[in-house]
Amino acid sequence: MPLPRMSMPRDLLHFTHGGSGVALNTKRYPEFLHVRGVPEFAAIKGDQEAALREAFATLLIARRFAAYGDQQAIYLGEESVRFLYGGSKKSGDQDCDVVGKVLAGGYGLVLGEGKGADLAKAWSQFCSAAERLKGRGVLSGGVIVTNSLRWMEWSTARNQWVGMMNNVPDEKITQNVAHAVSEAKPPLMKDKVYLLDSPWEDGHQLPSWCINPQSGPVEIYFHSRTSPGERNARKLMLGAGAVRLAYVV
């Protein structure tokens, strides 16, 4: 069954100066009026799709704003780096595309990443940002926006786990994971989709992140196979909030 994809708006940004600059479309999306900064975008051969993913992550966080709370703000791109590090980051430091300060009972910090793939790197960036934000507010979850996913899903028709690449069966993936899937104890949950570009547990040959096959943003679950029980899965949390995945087209 195809994994539903969200339709990412194409008018989130204005590409200015003949395509060498970028600006948020605040007229069409007034939520962006709370944003400080713009997506990362190179003046020469800038990646417009990557910039759109960052902008969409920003929009999803902005839509969590309360109708009140004058300290709410979103930091994007270089402004996110300044918010995290108090200035420029050093070589080797990890950044985070978006940091949002939102009000939900109390002020909380929500992180966002736009990714072409590599969910494991997004998680690493979230964890690095979380360390930098200690003592500066409650972490209240995160959102990852990606347009490229590899996963495993249970095929009733084939009576086996099948590897998928953007809703197209991939026989190489299927063959590569076949033995590990057959040996998995406890077994994988057939109602879940397992994300192959997510972090893998030490000592295991299968990914630990999985989602429900429904329209997003969907909550990510962590399936621990180090404990007994087939359905030993829990929400992937970043501080006090869940991490959600938006699979876009």
Which residues 6+ apart lie within 8 Å of 204 measured at CB? 180, 225
Place of tokens 């994809």: 5
**What are the tens digits of pLDDT across the range 21-42?**
999 999 999 999 999 999 999 9
For 77, left (φ over 0), alpha (ψ -120 to 50), or beta?
left
- The pLDDT confidence band at residue 229, using thresholds 50, 70 and 90, is low
The pLDDT tens digits of the residues spanning 92-121 come to 789 999 999 999 889 999 999 999 989 999
pLDDT at 245: 98
Average pLDDT over residues 168-183: 93
Question: Residue 57: what pLDDT?
Answer: 98
Per-residue tokens: 207? 């990914």
CA distance 176 to 82: 42
**Mean of the per-residue pLDDT values of the chain:** 92
pLDDT over threshold 70, residue 246: yes
CA angle at 107 for the pair 118 and 112, rounded to the nearest 5°: 15
**Measured distance between the N- and C-terminal CA atoms of the chain, rounded to whole angstroms:** 17
Q: What is the CA radius of gyration of the chain?
A: 19
DSSP H helices in 63-170? 78-85, 119-132
Residue that is written with structure tokens 């204005």 in the block: 14
Using DSSP, how many helices (H) and how many strands (E) does the chain show? 4, 17
**How many Å apart are CA 222 and CA 209, to the nearest integer?**
5
The pTM (predicted TM-score) of the whole model is 0.94
Residue 202 has a pLDDT of 58
